[in-house]
Amino acid sequence: MHIHHIAFFSKDISRLKDFYVDLFQAQAGEMYQDERDFRSLMVRFENDTVLELMQMPDVLARATPDHDDIHHVGMHHLAIAVASDDDVLALTRKASGLGSAVIKPPELTGDGFFESMVTDPDGNLVEICRAPLSEQ
């Protein structure tokens, strides 16, 4: 058993797709649209992890867009693993340049991760991390 994909609703899936493709070199699939004007596309990462980006009329806005309190019921964050601390630093700078808020600057955590936390264009939290050396 494994996770097949993680799904996000968005008001603008093209903008969200561009973020993940530009920042992480993910590959975007074809757009699907049904009679309800539900739209969906899959974004596949190098290791075959998949995000489904979904859009339809009247989807409500996120409840905590400013992240004053980032702890909430529901998905908390998406973690993207990279190879090195330098990758964490470079991608955090690139995300900031793309307009992302840097919620947590790069740091070494007590459990051995080197990580930062940024937002995607819809305010979803994205952790950029180098796993503990014991896991590599």
Domain boundaries, the chain: 6-55, 77-135
Q: What is the pLDDT of residue 95?
A: 97
Q: How far apart are CA 11 and CA 60, in angstroms?
A: 9
Q: What is the pLDDT of residue 5?
A: 84
Does pLDDT of 106 surpass 90?
yes
Q: Per-residue pLDDT tens for 84-105?
A: 999 999 999 999 999 999 999 9
Percentage above 90 pLDDT, the chain: 46
Residues paired with 79 in a beta bridge: 127
pLDDT band at 60 (very low <50, low <70, confident <90, very high): low
pLDDT band at 71 (very low <50, low <70, confident <90, very high): very low
Residues paired with 6 in a beta bridge: 51
Q: How far apart are CA 81 and CA 60, in angstroms?
A: 30
H/E run at residue 107: strand 102-108
* Range scoring the smallest mean pLDDT among 24-38, 53-67, 93-107: 53-67
Which two tokens mark 27?
């590959």
Neighbours of 28 (CB within 10 A): 17
Q: Please give the DSSP secondary-structure letter assigned to residue 68.
A: S
Class of domain 77-135: alpha beta
Degrees to nearest 5, angle at CA 71 with 121 and 20: 25
Tell me which CATH homologous superfamily contains domain 6-55: 2,3-Dihydroxybiphenyl 1,2-Dioxygenase, domain 1 (3.10.180.10)
Neighbours of 52 (CB within 10 A): 17
Neighbours of 91 (CB within 10 A): 19
